[in-house]
C-alpha cells in the first residue's frame, strides 16, 4: 500500500473569517481531525502539498500519517470540500484510526478485462454505475483498490455489489439485503437503430428518391417500355 504523510499545524483562530484568511493569505487548508479517544483538533494543511497528493487515487483509500508538530497520528480522509470551479481545496475532514478496531473507508474499483469481454466484442458498451465503495475492515486489511473482472460479461449482463471478490477481512457496508445489491457495471447495446429500423429507413429513402424523379423522365421511361412491347 502507498504511504502518505500530511504535515499539519494546530490552529486556534476559528470562524469563517479566519478560515478565509488562512486560505487566501497563507495558502493553507483548514481541517479537522477527529475520532479515537482524543478530542477533535482544528488543524491547517499546506495546500500545495495536499493538492498534489490528491491527484493520486490511492490516497483516498490509504492510511495517512498526520504529522502535527512532530506528533504523528494515523488517519483516513473522510470528506473534502472543493471550490466549485477552481482547483482548490476549501476544507478537509480526517478521521483517526485505531489499530485493531474496525474502520470504514472508501476504496476505488479497478475494472479489468473490459476489451476482452464477449459483450464488448459483440459491439456492446461498458457502463460503470459505481467507481468506489465503502468497506469495513481492520486497518491492516484495508485494500488500495478492488478489482472488478468484466472478462465474462455478455450484452445485457450486470455485475452487482454481491459479485465483487473482496480481500480477506473486508466487507461492504452498503450490502445489507437484496434491495441494496446495487449494479456496479453492465454491458449495453449501442443506442443506434436496430436492423429492422435500418431496413425501414433504407426503404423510405428509396421511396423518397423515386418521388423526386421528374415527371418527364418517368414518362420517358414509360414510353420506352411501351416501344419495347
Residues 107 and 176 in one domain: yes
In the chain, % helix, strand, coil (3-state, to 5) comes to 30, 35, 35
Is the pLDDT higher at 140 or at 197? 140
Q: Is 130 a residue whose pLDDT tops 60?
A: yes
Residue 130: closest CA among 186, 74, 202: 186
Other beta carbons within 10 Å of 137:
19
Band the pLDDT of 176: cuts 50, 70, 90: low
How do residues 27-66 score in pLDDT, each as one tens digit? 788 999 999 888 999 999 999 889 999 999 999 999 999 9
Residue where a domain stops, chosen among 36, 66, 97: 97
Asked if residue 197 is part of any domain, the answer here is no
pLDDT in the model for residue 180: 77
Are the C-beta atoms of 134 and 95 separated by less than 8 Å? no
Asked if residue 29 is part of any domain, the answer here is yes
Domain that holds residue 32: 1-97
> C-alpha cell of 213?
424523379
Collapse the DSSP code of 140 into the 3-class scheme (helix H, G, I; strand E, B; otherwise coil) and give the result: helix
Rounded Cα distance, 178 and 160, in Å: 10
Burial readout 60-71 (b: 16 or more C-beta within 10 A, e: otherwise): bbbbbebeeeee
* Cα angle for residues 140, 43, 16 (degrees, 5° grid): 130
What residues contact 73, with CB distance under 8 A and at least 6 apart?
Answer: 33, 65, 66, 96
CATH number of the domain that residue 115 is part of: 2.170.120.20
Asked if residue 201 is part of any domain, the answer here is no
Q: Is 114 a residue whose pLDDT tops 90?
A: yes
Residues 90 and 1 in one domain: yes
Residues 4 and 86 in one domain: yes
Share of the chain above pLDDT 90, in %: 57
Asked if residue 229 is part of any domain, the answer here is no
Average pLDDT, stretch 154-180? 86
Rounded Cα distance, 113 and 153, in Å: 10
Asked if residue 195 is part of any domain, the answer here is no
Report the chain's mean pLDDT, rounded to a whole number: 83
Residue 114: closest CA among 184, 25, 50, 52: 184
pLDDT in the model for residue 203: 65
pLDDT in the model for residue 108: 94
Asked if residue 39 is part of any domain, the answer here is yes
pLDDT in the model for residue 216: 54
Residues 59 and 89 in one domain: yes
Q: What are phi and psi of 165, to 5 degrees?
A: -95, 110
Number of structural domains in the chain: 2
pLDDT in the model for residue 69: 86
Residue where a domain stops, chosen among 69, 97, 125: 97
Residues 107 and 137 in one domain: yes
Average pLDDT, stretch 154-182? 86
Asked if residue 209 is part of any domain, the answer here is no
Asked if residue 227 is part of any domain, the answer here is no
Residues 77 and 135 in one domain: no
Residues 15 and 65 in one domain: yes
CATH number of the domain that residue 36 is part of: 2.40.240.10
Residues 108 and 186 in one domain: yes
Residue where a domain stops, chosen among 81, 97, 113: 97
Residues 53 and 118 in one domain: no
Rounded Cα distance, 103 and 95, in Å: 10
Average pLDDT, stretch 167-191? 84
Band the pLDDT of 224: cuts 50, 70, 90: very low
Other beta carbons within 10 Å of 168:
7
Residues 2 and 76 in one domain: yes
Amino acid at each position: 500500500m502507498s504511504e502518505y504523510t500530511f504535515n499539519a499545524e494546530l490552529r486556534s483562530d476559528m470562524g469563517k473569517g479566519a478560515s478565509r484568511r488562512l486560505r487566501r493569505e497563507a495558502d493553507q487548508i483548514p481541517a479537522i481531525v477527529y475520532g479515537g479517544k482524543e478530542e477533535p483538533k482544528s488543524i491547517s494543511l499546506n495546500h500545495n502539498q495536499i493538492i498534489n497528493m490528491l491527484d493520486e487515487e490511492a490516497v483516498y483509500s490509504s492510511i495517512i500519517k498526520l504529522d502535527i508538530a512532530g506528533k504523528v497520528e494515523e488517519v483516513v480522509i473522510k470528506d473534502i470540500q472543493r471550490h466549485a470551479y477552481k482547483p482548490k481545496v476549501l476544507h478537509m475532514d480526517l478521521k483517526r484510526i485505531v489499530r485493531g478496531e474496525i474502520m470504514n473507508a472508501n476504496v476505488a474499483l479497478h475494472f479489468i478485462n473490459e476489451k476482452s469481454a464477449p459483450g464488448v466484442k459483440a459491439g456492446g458498451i461498458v457502463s460503470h454505475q459505481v467507481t468506489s465503495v465503502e468497506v469495513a475492515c481492520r486497518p491492516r486489511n484495508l485494500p488500495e483498490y478492488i478489482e472488478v473482472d468484466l472478462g465474462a460479461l455478455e450484452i445485457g449482463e450486470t455485475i452487482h455489489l454481491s459479485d465483487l471478490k473482496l480481500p480477506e477481512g473486508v466487507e461492504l457496508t452498503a450490502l445489507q439485503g437484496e434491495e441494496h445489491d446495487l449494479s456496479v457495471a453492465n454491458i449495453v447495446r449501442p443506442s443506434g437503430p436496430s436492423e429492422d429500423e435500418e431496413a425501414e429507413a433504407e426503404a423510405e429513402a428509396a421511396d423518397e428518391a423515386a418521388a423526386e424523379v421528374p415527371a418527364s423522365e418517368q414518362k420517358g421511361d414509360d414510353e420506352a417500355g411501351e416501344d419495347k412491347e
